[in-house]
Amino acid sequence: MDDALAEAVVAGAPGDRLERLPLPAQFTAAHLRVEDVDSFAGVDDKDVRKSIHTGSVPMPELAPNEVLVAVMASGINYNTVWSAMFEPIPTFTFLKHLGRQDRWAARHDRPFHVVGSDAAGVVVRTGSGVRRWRPGDHVVVSPVHVDEEDPATHADGMMGAGQLAWGFETNYGGLAQYAVVRTTQLLPKPGHLTWEEAAVNPLCAGTAYRMLVGERGARMTQGDVVLIWGAAGGLGAYAVQLVRGGGGIAVGVVSSEAKAEYARGLGCHVVINREEIGLGGDGPADPVAAGKRLGRRIRAATGDDPHIVFEHVGRATFGISVFVVRRGGTVVTCGSSTGYVHEFDNRYLWMRLKRVVGSHGANLHEQAAVGRLLHLGRLAPALTATYDLARTAEAARLVQTNGHLGKVGVLALAPHPGLGVTDPERRELIARGEELTG
């Protein structure tokens, strides 16, 4: 490693030493290149290993309200897959739009895009306007990049017009040795977690929390039957835990026996294989017929129709979700990994007084609530595989092909897994199943 600052971070140097060491002019990052935007034209399999590059990018200047984080670990989310497929539009479009705002935003409009919307690491520099954070602080990064000057942001960070997905709609994301982060994205890293365990939680755990528990989502209560599509994936793995911990009944849908076993281990009360209800990758020809088959399975196991459907699959499942949720129930949706254009029979929505709730990310208050659940051991990282930064493209391909369980982590500056624990006593208590209260 030719970077003295990175070497000091890995060695655990104190903040005052980190502050004195020079920043490198370049750093290694997983990134996209603008010249590749049209490379998948007419291609059926848009293999992200062909578009994700790992190499040097220039270090940007830091704005007054930002910190530079030396990234110890990051994670793969489906938005990185979207970025690397240049779908639904190339993310360079987002960067160009952002770059028109002011001189600080102009730094994002580059012919490369450093991707990644999860990170855990060490603060190494702070902007001139930063008060709460210092070099040496161990942090996790929320993926929500907000405009602090928008009044709506102060009611709910997700409602501000300037709200963006960091590392997707902005540059200098988490799949890199260094990341540029606004102070409104920072929370303390849980001391009992390793770098990679801490890194993979914010996007998926925060999103699932807002969808199910937060006051702006489905507002799950004790005893609710919750149908969770993709219960063995990144979002689903946290949804299962939140339902189980909140006194609900988790019904998971998965695509293989290995995923069924994983979902049961997370706490799923009922697990259903997609094939058992005749659901292929593109969805059923008749969503109502498939919904009837699924509904019978759920009623037989729980005695009731779902109060809530946790929906993020999109086109392949949305029609079933609207049909199968109970009268007066809620379908809460945060994405559409199989397609954005949904078809459903609206009679089952309006005549049975159902609701569809759109949800996106989580505000910093909700992210802090997730952090507290992790601190108490009531929520566990869904990490199942870890790759080196040089193999980011392979990690993203695993998620693209749905070959993963839970979350896939990526080590950036951390030389190997298992580092970063500063509270081993709490880690041991949680491992023993002790009930912690603070």
Please tell me the distance from the alpha carbon of residue 241 to that of residue 412, in angstroms, as a whole number. 28
Task: Report pLDDT for 51.
Answer: 98
What contacts 93, CB < 8 A, 6 or more positions away?
A: none
Q: Does the structure show a pLDDT above 70 at 1?
A: no
First to last CA, the chain: 39
pLDDT digit string, tens, across residues 143-174: 999 999 999 999 999 999 889 999 999 999 99
- Burial of residue 1 (number of CB atoms within 10 Å: 0-12, 13-18, 19+): exposed
Q: Does the structure show a pLDDT above 80 at 431?
A: yes
**Given its phi and psi angles, is residue 203 left (phi above 0), alpha (psi -120 to 50 degrees) or beta?**
alpha
pLDDT digit string, tens, across residues 327-373: 999 999 998 888 889 999 999 999 999 999 999 999 999 999 999 99
Task: Report pLDDT for 338.
Answer: 85
- Give residue 99's pLDDT band: very low, low, confident or very high (50, 70, 90): very high
Q: Does the structure show a pLDDT above 80 at 100?
A: yes
Q: Are 162 and 117 in contact (CB under 8 A)?
A: no
Q: Does the structure show a pLDDT above 80 at 92?
A: yes
- Quick one: average pLDDT of 25-29? 98
Lowest-pLDDT choice from 22-26, 280-284, 310-314, 385-389 = 280-284
For residue 201, give the nearest of 334, 422, 383 by alpha carbon: 383
Task: Report pLDDT for 282.
Answer: 73
- Give residue 39's pLDDT band: very low, low, confident or very high (50, 70, 90): very high
DSSP code of residue 176:
B
Task: Report pLDDT for 314.
Answer: 86
Task: Report pLDDT for 410.
Answer: 98
Please indicate, yes or no, whether the overall pTM of this predicted structure exceeds 0.85. yes
pLDDT digit string, tens, across residues 253-302: 999 999 999 999 999 999 999 888 888 767 777 889 999 999 999 999 99
Q: Does the structure show a pLDDT above 70 at 102?
A: yes
What contacts 9, CB < 8 A, 6 or more positions away?
A: 18, 70, 72, 121, 122, 124, 413
- Quick one: average pLDDT of 78-93? 96
Task: Report pLDDT for 206.
Answer: 98
Q: Are 136 and 123 in contact (CB under 8 A)?
A: yes
Q: Are 225 and 191 in contact (CB under 8 A)?
A: no
Task: Report pLDDT for 340.
Answer: 87
Question: 107-121 in b/e burial notation, b at 16+ Cβ within 10 A?
Answer: bbbbebbbbbbbbbb
Q: Does the structure show a pLDDT above 70 at 182?
A: yes
Percent of the chain scoring above 70 in pLDDT: 100
Task: Report pLDDT for 221.
Answer: 97
Task: Report pLDDT for 2.
Answer: 84
Average pLDDT, rounded, for the chain: 96
Residues composing the chain: 438
- Burial of residue 292 (number of CB atoms within 10 Å: 0-12, 13-18, 19+): middle
Question: Which residue type does 208 have?
Answer: A
